[in-house]
A and B are shown apart, each in its own frame.
Chain A
Amino acid sequence: QQQVKQSPQSLIVQKGGISIINCAYENTAFDYFPWYQQFPGKGPALLIAIRPDVSEKKEGRFTISFNKSAKQFSLHIMDSQPGDSATYFCAASKGGNTGKLIFGQGTTLQVKP
């Protein structure tokens, strides 16, 4: 019930392509869904977040798609660049709490030039 399942574990995309990472959850009480980006040797940093009152949120090349009925959300990276190569974590929380997060297992993205 508390888990957030993330896939794929790793992803290789050509420069200019679309990267898609998926997450699924069980707990219907979750109401805040952020994505964090982490570069090697650094701490995670917030990339984009969504609340369930909208089905999509876009910031630049990054888009979250949210499907409340399926209890799934995904991150789309358009026009992927080598600088996007990092580990991406989805997360979820209850009560809109932005700090008490349940994280997915992480996806390592490599964008080939």
Chain B
Amino acid sequence: DAEITQSPRHKITETGRQVTLACHQTWNHNNMFWYRQDLGHGLRLIHYSYGVQDTNKGEVSDGYSVSRSNTEDLPLTLESAASSQTSVYFCASSPDAYTGELFFGEGSRLTVL
């Protein structure tokens, strides 16, 4: 079955370290998204991509970057992790920007000490 997988599922890191969260989907979806989920804020869009070599900033992009070198993967990098980036991160993909359902991965819980 096609799916979307995130790794690692749990990570603890220290302030200032670079962290990369992986997202891999096997649906061949062009559109991929990264959201973070925090209590009281729901989910907020960090970055998104509509295809290979395309990346765009979302609502809360400061301190994060993404790259899209192929259709299947959209890794999220925290250049210098901060305690404010402690959160649960969700990757999602959709087949079409205007009619397709958004499919989420199971999340990556990141703790920055």
Contacts and interface: CB of A to CB of B under 8 A. Distances in A.
A30 to B, nearest CB: 14
B101 A46 contact: yes
Given A42-B106, A45-B104, A99 B92 contact: yes
Interface string B89-113: 0101010111111111111000000
B2 to A, nearest CB: 15
Interface in B17-54: 31, 33, 35, 40-45, 48
Contact of A46 (B35, B43, B102): B102
A3 B48 CA distance: 19
B40 A105 contact: yes
Nearest to B29: A99
B104 A105 contact: no
B77 to A, nearest CB: 20
B100 A98 contact: yes
